[in-house]
Amino acid sequence: MRDEEAVGARISALVATRRPGYSLPQAFYTDPDIFEFDLREIYGRSWLMVGFEVEVAAPGRYLAMTIGRSPIVVWRGQDGVLRGFFNTCRHRGAQIVADGCGAAERLICPYHQWMYDDHGVLRGAGRMPRDFDKSAHGLGAIHVRSIAGTIYVCLAETAPDFGEFHDNLAPMLAPHDVLNARVAAEITLVERGNWKLVMENARECYHCGVGHPELSASFPIDARGNFLSSERVDIAGFKQRMAAIGLASAPVEGGWWQASRFALREGFVSMTLDGAPVVRRPMCAINGGDVGSLRWAVEPHCFCHAVGDFLFMFSALPLGPQETLVVGKWLVHKDAVEGVDYTRDELVMVWNATNLQDRALVETNQRGVNSLGYVPGPYSAQSESLALRFTDWYVDRVRERVMPPAALRRDTVAVG
């Protein structure tokens, strides 16, 4: 067997040992070959949220980032259309623009100055022969979609269906007016943990009461499922209030996405220590900004919370078998003035504290998972249902990629 086939066979054997309702076998959190598999088959085939249209609002603006080992760029053309490309020169493969936001009428490779237009077409390639076919050396295209001001990409040749996600999230997100916002803060952290441990942690609040005192002030930490129930929040009353002001709150979900509007703790209108808004100019002014939190999440890597006065985005990007880049972005209304309508420190305080606390928890988790004594453990049906949903989603994707169709039709006997 080729090496890739041998790795696939080993992964198939490992995933067959996974006990339903339990965390993954150790190798899924530690093994370099499985990490490479995840880059190729999970991140390389999924829809990923990369940012916001306001970051590329004007023609020529671009957003560049690296997903796994693949630099990509989302670029607004002179015609106003968003397009995505692999940020890799078709000459000898150099990365063309550095990660981050910028503006350019043409993308010019810093190595040998090959030049591409906003459709990815190669326009300049010095010192090549007269019969050189520039049309055959354009940038590789990637899929790009947007929903109410948020941007998603997929690197696969054929992307999963996007329509159901778009049609459900768009009306829920529209009242938050993301197209009239701006990025007020961005903070990145490197966590010494496998990306799946980062995401399992991000999908549950079992640890929040002790681990996140700042977040727990406003967040219903005992919420179950997709925020369907909580002992500390009047969910039925909240749904009635939201319906009265025309905001949908019922949970919706598909195989790789979910969204719901949920109530914060009583008396809280924002995710802050005291419940008061930290931005005077709201993004969503309906009901005085008292609209709970619109949470949506995308497997494998992100979640967002949109409250009345700001929006927070969390994204996890794998760097190595035991290293993950966590990106946090905070949006405010485009007319909100720093130092007048808000302060950066107050804006980022709760979620930045949460991310720092989660980094410590994830790294503690990874050290324990690395142990000879690690054995997969059971998730709490009450408090970790979304973490279990994430892990089940991952296992299903693995099985699709490493098992023959006949094997997928048979029930797998779980051991261990």
- The CA angle 289-290-291, to the nearest 5 degrees, is 95
Counting the structural domains of the chain, the total is 2
- 393 found inside a domain: no
- 217 found inside a domain: yes
Distance CA 217, CA 159 (A): 40
Query: 204-246: per-residue pLDDT in tens?
Result: 999 999 999 999 999 998 887 777 777 778 888 999 999 999 9
Among 4-13, 89-98, 111-120, name the one with the lowest average pLDDT. 4-13
Q: CATH number for the domain including 208? A: 3.90.380.10
Q: Are both 203 and 252 inside the same structural domain? A: yes
Residue 410 pLDDT greater than 70, yes or no:
no
Confidence of residue 80 (pLDDT cuts 50, 70, 90): very high
Q: Which residues pair with 100 in a beta bridge?
A: 64
Q: Per-residue pLDDT averaged across 394-411, rounded?
A: 75
pLDDT value at residue 239: 93
Could you tell me where the beta strands, DSSP code E, fall in 192-310? 252-253, 257-262, 293-298, 302-306
Q: Are both 258 and 354 inside the same structural domain? A: yes
Query: 236-250: per-residue pLDDT in tens?
Result: 899 999 999 999 999
CA dihedral for 5, 11, 13, 16, sign (positive or negative)? negative
Buried/exposed 5-16: b ≥16 CB within 10 Å, e otherwise: eebbebbbebbb
Distance CA 380, CA 200 (A): 12
Structure tokens at 294: 């619109």
- 267 found inside a domain: yes
State the DSSP code for 342: B
Provide, rounded to the nearest whole percent, the portion of the chain with pLDDT above 90: 91
Q: SS3 breakdown of the chain: % helix, strand, coil, rounded to 5?
A: 30, 25, 45
Q: Which residue has the tokens 């990629």?
A: 401
Q: What does 30-87 look like in DSSP terms, one character per residue?
A: H-HHHHHHIIIIIITTS-EEEEEGGGG-STTEEEEEEETTEEEEEEE-TTS-EEEEE-
- 408 found inside a domain: no
Q: Residue 110's domain spans which residues?
A: 48-154
Residue 412 pLDDT greater than 60, yes or no:
no
Q: Are both 191 and 284 inside the same structural domain? A: yes
Q: Per-residue pLDDT averaged across 168-173, rounded?
A: 98
Distance CA 394, CA 256 (A): 10
Q: CATH number for the domain including 99? A: 2.102.10.10
State the DSSP code for 119: T
Q: Are both 133 and 266 inside the same structural domain? A: no
Distance CA 197, CA 326 (A): 12
The most distant pair of C-alpha atoms in the chain lies apart, rounded to whole Å, by 74
Long-range contacts of 348-353 (CB under 8 A, 24+ apart): 348/185, 348/187, 349/214, 349/272, 349/273, 349/278, 350/214, 350/215, 350/217, 350/218, 350/271, 350/272, 350/273, 351/215, 351/271, 351/312, 351/314, 352/187, 352/328, 353/212, 353/214, 353/215
pLDDT value at residue 413: 34
- 277 found inside a domain: yes
Residue 406 pLDDT greater than 90, yes or no:
no
Distance CA 329, CA 315 (A): 9
Query: 281-334: per-residue pLDDT in tens?
Result: 999 999 999 999 999 999 999 999 999 999 999 999 999 999 999 999 999 999
Q: Are both 190 and 168 inside the same structural domain? A: yes
Structure tokens at 384: 């970790």
pLDDT value at residue 416: 29
* Amino acid identity at 160: P
Among 132, 154, 176, the domain-final residue is 154
Distance CA 214, CA 231 (A): 19
- 113 found inside a domain: yes
Confidence of residue 411 (pLDDT cuts 50, 70, 90): very low
Q: Is 179 helix (H, G, I), strand (E, B) or coil?
A: helix
Q: Per-residue pLDDT averaged across 402-415, rounded?
A: 50
Q: Are both 116 and 256 inside the same structural domain? A: no
- The CA angle 85-89-94, to the nearest 5 degrees, is 120
Among 353, 369, 385, the domain-final residue is 369
Q: Is 156 helix (H, G, I), strand (E, B) or coil?
A: coil
- 376 found inside a domain: no
Structure tokens at 65: 């980032």
Taking the model in full, what pTM does it have? 0.95
Q: What are the angstrom distances between the C-alpha of 104 and each of 56, 323, 385?
A: 11, 32, 45
Q: Are both 87 and 225 inside the same structural domain? A: no
Residue 407 pLDDT greater than 60, yes or no:
no
Distance CA 167, CA 184 (A): 28
Q: Which residue has the tokens 């009242």?
A: 175
Q: Are both 150 and 167 inside the same structural domain? A: no
In the sheet with 107-108, reading across from the earlier edge strand, the strands are 107-108, 115-116, 122-124
Q: Are both 167 and 135 inside the same structural domain? A: no
Average pLDDT, the chain: 95
Q: Are both 111 and 203 inside the same structural domain? A: no
Q: Are both 121 and 215 inside the same structural domain? A: no
- 247 found inside a domain: yes
Residue 156 pLDDT greater than 90, yes or no:
yes
Among 154, 176, 203, the domain-final residue is 154
Query: 333-374: per-residue pLDDT in tens?
Result: 999 999 999 999 999 999 999 999 999 999 999 999 999 999
pLDDT value at residue 404: 67
pLDDT value at residue 3: 85
Q: Are both 123 and 219 inside the same structural domain? A: no
Helices (H) and strands (E) in the chain, counts: 11, 17
